[in-house]
Each structure stands twice: as structure tokens, then as C-alpha cells.
């Protein structure tokens, strides 16, 4: 009798624990659906060419489902940087010489039916990496491999000395230096004048791309561009990056890579900068004070940050530009206030989650990337718009908030 009672008690215990467990899982899923899954908020100027493009971008009007078990900004940022697999892309490297004697490496990738001398009208996608990154970064190969599936040609731009390239002049690169991108974009256009050229930049590369577009205006050969996780404001971004958890994790990691970059190329280190202080830097701010600012002729890091910020230059953009940001990005959060003075060609899409250059999705992350689909859809629709009579010179005033 005692054994029978014990057995029933054990059964009741297992059943109770199972019920509690299912209840907790259910509550977690409900919270996830209510708090994590949302349609992006889109800011775009009414009556503009970009509004017409955005309206036919289906992915910008659908819910983004971040990973169920790690959807916060820090977790997406860290886990994507460590565990996101690199898609296989077969590059052909070109060393592109610049007018000052410098060199950048261009890693080209062609779809199976394409070739270097193609005369088709399929787009060419120029990709710009983040700080000390390169063409092998997972976010670059992911977007590049998806573009290749569409029959596009990919040109991954590697800044001076990045991705195992050599430095051939006493000038490195910075988050506000646009001359190299300008030269490459023009050269690609001259080489393939019949093919639409588009671009996408990530983080630091997003800022360089956006600043270039604001400076170049109508002179750019680019048909459209997407800037992902663009800091827009280096001054406020520096305060965030060099505070608390971000300083301990993100700034220290970036600084370590910057010091490694300097050690590799110290024989060509800019004379105006301080090699000793650069190698001793313990934060991005300290590094920029010692090296970047002085190398590019600024008095200090603050002056460099003010001039390098791309947000104030959005008014000069003259091709469709999507600024894609995540509200929980711990490194480069959205700065929607800059849309007030942006041109009619600029739109901004903000997701609640996504981290920094992550935007993983689904129960099994990294099988696909939400931002890849959004980026390619926006660029493809922009290319199609450029081939029609859709482009309008004038636009109505005011922004439309296309939010759920």
C-alpha cells in the first residue's frame, strides 16, 4: 500500500513539474511574441522616390522574428560576431592603385554564368566592411553570397591594410575618409558603364558610404545604397562606446584589433601620429586621439568625430538610401533626429531588436539573415525604379511614419 501511494505521489510530482515547465515556456513564448516580434518602423519623406520604393519592399512591412532564445541587443551582437558562419564566396583579388600612392584591395566575386568582361545589365554590388574588417567578415560573405544567387556581381572593398592587404603610402583609413571609396565607385562605373552600381556598408563602412553620398550628391554613379548599423554621430557614439559594458567588451575588442593593424603596418605609420601612444591605447577613443585624428590632420578626436559624422550630411544625398538600424544596437543605436534635415532620397528603418550588424532570425539562427533580404530587396527595387519614369525631382514636405 505504501509503495502504491509513493508511486502516485511521484506521478503527481512529475505531472506538476511538467505543467509548471509548459506554463513557463508558454509565458516566455507569449512574451517573445508581444515584445520581440514587430514590424520595423519606417521613416520616409512623403511623395519621394524613396517612398515609392519602400512601399513595394515587402520585407519592410513584415514582422521581423529575432532568435527565440537570444534576441537582446548584446546577445545578438556577441553571438553573431563569434558564431555566425561565413558563407563561401570565391573572390578574385584586384589591387587598386590610388592617386596618392596608396592601395586598396578589391575582392570580386562573379556568379557562375558571369565573368569579368560581362556586358549584361545585372547590378554590381559594392560592399564596405566595419572597423578593421574585410571581405571575409561573416556579414559581408552572407550578403555577398545572396547577391550572387541573384546573378549580381560583388565587389568587396577592403580599406587600406585590411584583409591581408598591404599599405603602400603613409596614409591609413578612417571612418570619415571618403576619397578611396569615391575613386573605386568611379572606376567601377567607368569599367562597366551599362551596369547599375549599388552599395551596402556596415557600421564604420556604413558611415563612410553615407558621408560619401552626402558629399558627392548628383555626381555619384551609385543607383542606390543601404547603410546598416550606421553610427551617424561619432561624438555621441564615442560616449556610448567608451562607457560601462561597451567599453569593457566592444571598445576593448576593437582597440585590440586596431593595435594589431598598426603593428602589421607600423613601417608605414603616418608621421604626424604617435605610434607609441597608438600601441598603448586601451580604448577606441584613446587610439583615435593618438593616431586617427592626428594622421588625418585633426587637432584631436573630438574634431575628427565631428567632421567624420555622416548624419549632418544626409541632406546632400541624391540617390535612394536606406538606413537600417536596430533600437537595441549597443554600439550604433538609431538617430532618427537626423531625418529632419535629410533629403527626400533618404529613408530609415528601425527594428526593435537586431543588435549590431546581426539581425539573426528564427529558431535555428544563421540559416538566413533578415537584413540580407531587406537590403537586396531595397536595392533591386531601386534599380528597377531607376529604369522607369518613377524618379521625380520634387517631393512633398514632411515625413511619413510607416509603423505598425
Q: Is residue 238 part of a domain?
A: no
Q: Residues 257-301: pLDDT tens digits? A: 999 999 999 999 999 999 999 999 999 999 999 999 999 999 999
Give the model's pLDDT for residue 143: 98
Task: Give percent of the chain with pLDDT exceeding 70.
Answer: 85
Query: At 3, is the pLDDT very low, low, confident or very high (cuts 50, 70, 90)?
Result: low
Give the model's pLDDT for residue 117: 43
Q: Is the pLDDT of residue 35 over 90?
A: no
Q: Which of 47-61, 118-132, 338-352 has the lowest mean pLDDT?
A: 118-132
Give the model's pLDDT for residue 112: 83
Task: Please state the three-class secondary structure of the chain as a single string.
Answer: CHHHHHHHHHHHHHHHHHHHHHHHHHHHHHHHHHHCCECCEEEEECCCHHHHHHHCCHHHHCCECCCCCCCCHHHHHHHHHHHCCCCCCCCEEEEEECCCCCEEEEEEECCCCCCCCCCCCCCEEEEECCCCCCCCCHHHHHHHHHHHHCCCEEEEEECCCCCCCCCCCCCCCCCCCCHHHHHHHHHHHHHCCCCCEEEEEECHHHHHHHHHHHHHHHHCCEEEEEEECCCCCHHHHHHHHCCHHHHHHHHHHHHHHHHHHHHHCHHHCCCCCCHHHHHHCCCHHHHHHHHHHHHCCCCCHHHHHHHHCCHHHHHHCCCCEEEEEECCCCCCCCCHHHHHHCCCCEEEEEECCCCCCCCECCCCCCCCEHHHHHHHHHHHHHHHHHCCCCCCCCCCCCEEEECC
Give the model's pLDDT for residue 404: 44
Give the model's pLDDT for residue 150: 96
Q: Is residue 4 part of a domain?
A: yes
Q: Is residue 258 part of a domain?
A: no
Q: Is residue 255 part of a domain?
A: no
Give the model's pLDDT for residue 71: 83
CATH number of the domain bearing residue 360: 3.40.50.1820
Q: Is residue 268 part of a domain?
A: no
Q: Is the pLDDT of residue 310 over 90?
A: yes
Give the model's pLDDT for residue 353: 96
Q: Is the pLDDT of residue 12 over 90?
A: no
Tell me: do 350 and 392 sit in the same domain. yes
Give the model's pLDDT for residue 155: 98
Question: Which range marks the domain in which residue 183 is found?
Answer: 39-233+309-402
Q: Is the pLDDT of residue 45 over 80?
A: yes
Tell me: do 21 and 47 sit in the same domain. no
Give the model's pLDDT for residue 68: 83
Residue 224's alpha-carbon distances to 127, 317, 386, in angstroms, are 12, 10, 9
Q: Is the pLDDT of residue 364 over 50?
A: yes
Tell me: do 1 and 132 sit in the same domain. no
Tell me: do 24 and 165 sit in the same domain. no
Q: Is the pLDDT of residue 135 over 70?
A: yes
Average of per-residue pLDDT across 376-398: 71
Tell me: do 51 and 1 sit in the same domain. no
Catalytic residues: 203, 329, 356
Q: Is residue 121 part of a domain?
A: yes
Tell me: do 4 and 92 sit in the same domain. no
Q: Is the pLDDT of residue 398 over 60?
A: no
Query: At 366, is the pLDDT very low, low, confident or very high (cuts 50, 70, 90)?
Result: confident
Tell me: do 161 and 183 sit in the same domain. yes
Q: Is residue 80 part of a domain?
A: yes
Give the model's pLDDT for residue 194: 94
Q: Is the pLDDT of residue 394 over 50?
A: no
Tell me: do 182 and 152 sit in the same domain. yes
Give the model's pLDDT for residue 15: 63
Query: At 25, is the pLDDT very low, low, confident or very high (cuts 50, 70, 90)?
Result: very low
Query: At 200, is the pLDDT very low, low, confident or very high (cuts 50, 70, 90)?
Result: very high
Q: Is the pLDDT of residue 161 over 80?
A: yes
Cut 0.85: pTM above it: yes
Q: Is residue 280 part of a domain?
A: no
Tell me: do 19 and 76 sit in the same domain. no
Query: At 97, is the pLDDT very low, low, confident or very high (cuts 50, 70, 90)?
Result: very high
How many structural domains is the chain composed of?
Answer: 2
Query: At 20, is the pLDDT very low, low, confident or very high (cuts 50, 70, 90)?
Result: low
Query: In this predicted model, which residue has the larger pLDDT, 322 or 12?
Result: 322
Tell me: do 4 and 51 sit in the same domain. no
Q: Is the pLDDT of residue 327 over 60?
A: yes
Tell me: do 158 and 176 sit in the same domain. yes
Tell me: do 29 and 127 sit in the same domain. no
Query: In this predicted model, which residue has the larger pLDDT, 274 or 27?
Result: 274
Give the model's pLDDT for residue 21: 52
Amino acid at each position: 500500500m505504501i509503495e502504491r501511494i509513493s508511486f502516485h505521489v511521484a506521478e503527481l510530482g512529475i505531472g506538476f513539474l511538467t505543467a509548471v515547465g509548459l506554463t513557463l515556456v508558454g509565458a516566455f513564448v507569449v512574451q517573445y511574441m508581444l515584445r520581440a516580434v514587430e514590424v520595423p518602423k519606417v521613416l520616409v519623406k512623403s511623395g519621394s522616390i524613396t517612398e515609392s520604393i519602400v512601399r513595394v519592399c515587402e520585407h519592410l512591412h513584415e514582422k521581423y522574428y529575432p532568435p527565440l532564445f537570444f534576441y537582446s541587443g548584446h546577445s545578438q551582437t556577441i553571438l553573431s560576431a563569434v558564431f555566425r558562419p561565413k558563407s563561401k564566396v570565391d573572390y578574385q583579388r584586384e589591387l587598386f592603385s590610388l592617386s596618392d600612392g596608396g592601395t586598396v584591395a578589391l575582392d570580386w566575386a562573379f556568379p557562375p554564368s558571369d565573368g569579368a568582361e560581362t556586358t549584361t545589365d545585372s547590378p554590381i554590388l559594392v560592399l564596405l566592411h566595419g572597423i578593421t574588417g574585410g571581405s571575409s567578415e561573416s556579414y559581408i560573405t552572407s550578403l555577398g553570397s545572396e547577391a550572387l544567387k541573384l546573378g549580381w556581381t560583388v565587389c568587396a572593398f577592403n580599406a587600406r591594410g585590411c584583409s591581408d592587404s598591404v599599405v603602400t603610402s603613409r596614409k591609413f583609413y578612417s571612418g570619415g575618409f571618403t576619397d578611396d571609396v569615391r575613386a573605386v565607385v568611379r572606376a567601377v562605373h567607368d569599367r562597366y558603364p551599362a551596369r547599375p552600381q549599388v552599395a551596402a556598408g556596415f557600421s564604420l563602412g556604413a558611415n563612410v558610404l553615407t558621408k560619401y553620398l552626402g558629399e558627392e550628391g548628383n555626381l555619384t554613379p551609385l543607383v542606390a545604397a543601404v547603410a546598416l548599423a550606421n553610427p551617424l554621430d561619432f561624438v555621441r557614439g564615442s560616449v556610448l562606446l567608451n562607457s560601462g559594458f561597451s567599453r569593457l567588451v566592444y571598445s576593448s575588442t576593437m582597440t585590440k584589433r586596431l593595435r594589431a593593424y598598426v603593428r602589421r603596418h607600423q613601417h608605414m605609420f603616418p608621421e604626424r601620429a604617435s605610434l607609441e601612444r597608438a600601441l598603448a591605447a586601451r580604448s577606441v577613443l584613446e587610439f583615435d586621439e593618438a593616431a586617427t585624428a592626428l594622421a588625418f590632420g585633426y587637432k584631436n578626436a573630438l574634431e575628427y568625430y565631428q567632421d567624420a559624422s555622416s548624419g549632418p550630411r544626409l541632406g546632400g544625398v541624391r540617390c535612394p538610401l536606406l538606413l537600417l538600424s536596430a533600437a537595441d544596437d549597443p554600439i550604433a543605436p538609431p538617430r532618427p533626429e537626423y531625418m529632419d534635415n535629410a533629403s527626400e532620397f533618404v529613408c530609415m528603418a528601425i527594428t526593435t531588436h537586431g543588435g549590431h550588424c546581426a539581425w539573426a532570425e528564427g529558431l535555428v539562427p544563421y540559416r538566413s539573415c533578415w537584413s540580407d533580404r531587406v537590403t537586396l530587396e531595397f536595392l533591386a527595387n531601386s534599380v528597377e525604379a531607376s529604369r522607369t519614369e518613377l524618379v521625380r525631382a520634387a517631393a512633398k514636405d514632411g515625413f511619413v511614419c510607416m509603423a505598425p
